[in-house]
Chain A
Amino acid sequence: MAPALRWAQAALWSVVLFGWLWGMDRWLLGPDLVRGWQRTQQLADVPPELGPLATPAYLPEQLGWPPRQVQFRQAPAQAWWMELGRAEGPQLWIGSGDPPPDLPARACVADGACPVGWHALSRRVQGRGVAVVGTLPPHELRRVLDALVLGVP
């Protein structure tokens, strides 16, 4: 076999392998999703593929807006959680999907076993399951939950 033909075959095989690996990766694992938890302080950084976030139309005075941080994940399952509140004072997390590992009262959402002083409530907001977890009194937490709307103000 002529050397030029052999090297053309080698180059062709390399291109085929490159394409096969690329195609197999996208086919098996999907498009470029953000896998694992990402953290941001800007609501605008949350990928639009996650859908509109639920934001509170009502917040107690001790809690400010915008959130201190937002954590989100696209794969293996979509989820987002935002943390409101200051280092001292009441804590409030609003989110959808599995909670991130560093949510202090993660067990509240996972199996309803809240630590002392923490409460969790959830409801569907325009078809999407949304939960609030925090150290606010239950009636305040209920008010925040009921006032949630989809979309960033």
Chain B
Amino acid sequence: MSHAEWANLLMTNLLHSGIALLWLLGLRRFAGPLAPTLWADLLRVGLALPPLLLGLRALGLPQAPLPMRTLRVGHWTQAALDAGPLVVAALAALLLGTALLFAVQELRPALGAWLGARPGDAMPDQDLDRDTRQVLQWLRDRNLAPLRGRPPQALQLPRDVPVAGLHGIVQPQVLASRGLLALLDRDERLATVAHELAHWARGGNLRLLGVWLLRSTQALNPAALILFRALVEAEELACDDLAARVTGHPAALASALLKAHGQAEALQGAGPMARAQAEVLRRAELASVRGRVQRLLRAPAQEVPRPAVTASAVGLLAVILWSVG
């Protein structure tokens, strides 16, 4: 492909993602509030549609007729190139800065988690296993459990840091650390397990990996960065909602969140830069947790929208993006 074709491809992706982000923000502003499950699904579509549309075009999907096109990508590419070296340099700096953020804040931790977090030392825990089976039954009773795939196992991590998470793709595992389990009572433990199983019920790590791979094809795209971060937040809210509905006890999940995130991790021997970075991350996490706790305590868990609602919204977005070409 020539330089001009690469520039056109990049401009198409930038415009597609930017418009998807704009449309989603407007949708939430004018037709909101949206249920977190719907919001997360729409963010996922907003992130996935731009590269998928490019792929479909490569396979022969026709473009919108020229008079109907909302944005004429070739014109925008040419206008950007004709705008002079200063504009081109500013645009390049924005894109490279975005790619750098992706590499440092997303790729590196993802590779670290993938390479380093092998829960080989995890061990069965009777209470955790019983709670997991209980929550799985509740999910099945409400037809919320996936029909295919192995149900997750529950394992205890022999660590004092209070953490819990869903691990694995083929054989998912609900992991909770010894430190966390020591802090939680039965209701809080059930709520925590329900939250992690909600991630599994919403597609688990396999779907997250698929979305992340699509996101990583747009590493230069600032709108894709915003969409992905909003999606991660929205997924947590959607899983909070699902866990609160399944257990019928949102306050227990709120309490578990506060206990898990109230413990500051000690960074013994770390340098001042590492400590400062950890403190910034901790404060950002606390702000996020505060919002989730307030939401759990104040707002009732929202129903999962009907598939037709999600499909209509996806259709609208697809038509708008198709008109850009």
Contacts and interface: CB of A to CB of B under 8 A. Distances in A.
Interface in B1-36: 4, 19, 22-23, 26-27, 30-31
Is chain A's interface secondary structure helix, strand, loop, or mixed overall? helix
A41 interface: no
Contacts of B70: 18, 21-22, 25
Nearest to A3: B309
B111 interface: no
Given A7-B312, A10-B31, A14-B320, A21 B71 contact: yes
B66 interface: yes
Interface stretch (B75-83, B169-177, B200-208, B283-291): B75-83
Which residue of A10, A22, A33, A75 has the most chain B CB atoms within 10 A of its CB atom?
A: A10
A29 B78 CA distance: 10
Contacts of B165: none
Contacts of B312: 7
Given A18-B323, A21-B70, A32-B67, A13 B76 contact: no
A63 interface: no
Given A9-B31, A76-B82, A32 B66 contact: yes
Interface string B52-89: 00000000000000110111101110110010000000
Contacts, number: 65
Interface in B301-325: 309, 312-313, 316, 319-320, 323-324
- Chain B interface size band reads 20 to 34
A121 to B, nearest CB: 29
A3 B75 CA distance: 39
Given A14-B320, A18-B323, A36 B26 contact: no
Nearest to B27: A10
Given A10-B31, A13-B30, A13-B31, A21 B78 contact: no
A21 B19 contact: yes
Interface of A: 3, 6-7, 9-14, 17-18, 21-22, 25, 28-29, 32-33, 35-36, 75-76
Interface of B: 4, 19, 22-23, 26-27, 30-31, 66-67, 69-72, 74-76, 78-79, 82, 309, 312-313, 316, 319-320, 323-324
A-B interface, 5 closest residue pairs, ranked by CB to CB distance from nearest = A21-B70, A10-B31, A6-B31, A9-B31, A35-B78
